């Protein structure tokens, strides 16, 4: 029987992260899945649900605390992995958050919303990746994934028709601008920053065996922006399970020809698009 790969995914208790855990748990490839969750109780509930939905598995799954906004949490997490397993084969940086809704409603100031977005989506990812790198180097086939977003594309900010109108259509002239629908400005800026972070790790690891990817899983009904999954489906969002399976494909080597790039799973024929 093949040895289990040690795999850590942050934000694994809900949304796309949960679907990625589910796809990996259902795989024939055996994993030791470390489901990262800010709250242990939420991770435990996710595992209960997972085992109801996937009755048999070659893998094991357990919850670990992974609060990407806390250095102390991340240091404790990595030290625990080192003590128990001595290595890490796959790191999936999936945890992310959007604070644009809180900004729009007045619950957060511009500075508060942007600082929270960058701290969670970029700074926390960089801290964890740096801390985990020695463990990845102890793997024979290490992989490093950054989960990005189609909203982060610099090219597609020029597109304002079809599904892109929701993000890119210009509002009426005048100030202040009224009635902006589903604003994602701070969120998408952080994901653009995350893309550059991925490219920096590609450069840093160019002469090392770590395979690095950014994964853009498509427009999924995760409810991340506070809209709600059902409402997102009404405007064209797909089942998050599609994104989870796509992440599994990248983990299992089915997109290795796109190593070091942003790999997309959406309506484009070419899975790699200029950003």
Sequence-ordered list of residues with C-beta below 8 angstroms from that of 32, at least 6 positions apart, any chain: 4, 5, 6, 7, 59, 60, 62, 85
Question: How far is 55 from 26, CA to CA, in rounded Å?
Answer: 9
State the catalytic residue, choosing from 191, 216, 265, 275. 191
Helix axes 124-136, 71-84, angle to 10 degrees: 20
pTM score: 0.88
* pLDDT at residue 272, as a whole number: 47
Q: Nearest to residue 196, comparing CAs of 118, 266, 105?
A: 118
71 Cβ contact partners less than 8 Å away, ≥ 6 residues apart:
127
pLDDT digits (tens, 9 = 90+) for 143-173: 999 999 877 666 655 555 555 566 667 777 8
Residue 123: active-site member: no
Q: How many helices (H) and strands (E) does the chain have?
A: 10, 7
Annotated active-site residue in 149, 153, 186, 265? 149
pLDDT (0 to 100) of residue 166: 63
The pLDDT > 90 percentage for the chain reads 65
Chunked in runs of 10, what are the mean pLDDT values of the chain (275 residues)?
89 94 97 98 98 97 98 98 98 94 91 96 98 98 93 58 62 73 79 95 97 81 55 55 88 94 64 47
Please confirm, yes or no, whether 191 is among the known catalytic residues: yes
Catalytic residue among 187, 211, 245, 275: 187
The two tokens of residue 219 are: 């427009």
Residue 183's pLDDT is what? Answer: 64
CATH superfamily membership of 5-264: NAD(P)-binding Rossmann-like Domain (3.40.50.720)
Tell me what pLDDT residue 267 has.
42
Order of all β-strands in the sheet with 5-9 = 60-65, 31-37, 5-9, 90-93, 143-147, 211-216, 262-264
Is 258 labeled as catalytic in the residue annotation? no
Show me where the domains of the chain are located.
5-264
């Amino acid at each position: 029987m093949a040895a289990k790969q040690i795999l850590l995914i942050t934000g694994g208790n809900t949304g796309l992260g949960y679907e990625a855990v589910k796809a990996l748990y259902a795989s024939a490839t055996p994993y030791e899945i470390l489901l990262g969750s800010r709250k242990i109780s939420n991770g435990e509930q996710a595992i209960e649900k997972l085992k109801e939905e996937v009755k048999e598995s070659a893998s094991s799954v357990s919850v670990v605390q992974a609060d990407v906004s806390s250095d102390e949490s991340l240091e404790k997490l990595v030290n625990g992995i080192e003590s128990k397993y001595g290595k890490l084969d796959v790191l999936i940086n999936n945890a992310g958050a959007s604070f644009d809704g809180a900004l729009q409603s007045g619950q957060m100031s511009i500075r508060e919303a942007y600082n929270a977005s960058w701290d969670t989506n970029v700074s926390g990812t960089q801290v964890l990746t740096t801390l985990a790198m020695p463990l990845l180097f102890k793997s024979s086939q290490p992989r490093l994934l950054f989960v990005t977003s189609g909203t982060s594309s610099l090219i597609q900010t020029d597109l304002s028709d079809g599904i892109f109108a929701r993000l890119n259509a210009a509002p009426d002239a005048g100030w202040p601008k009224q009635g902006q629908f589903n604003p994602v400005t701070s969120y998408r800026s952080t994901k653009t920053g995350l893309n550059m972070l991925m490219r920096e790790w590609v450069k840093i690891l160019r002469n090392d065996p770590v395979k690095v990817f950014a994964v853009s899983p498509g427009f999924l009904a995760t409810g991340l922006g506070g809209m709600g999954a059902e409402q997102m489906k009404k405007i064209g969002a797909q089942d998050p399970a599609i994104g989870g399976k796509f992440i599994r494909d990248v983990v299992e080597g089915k997109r290795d020809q796109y190593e070091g790039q942003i790999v997309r799973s959406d309506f484009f024929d070419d899975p790699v698009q200029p950003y």
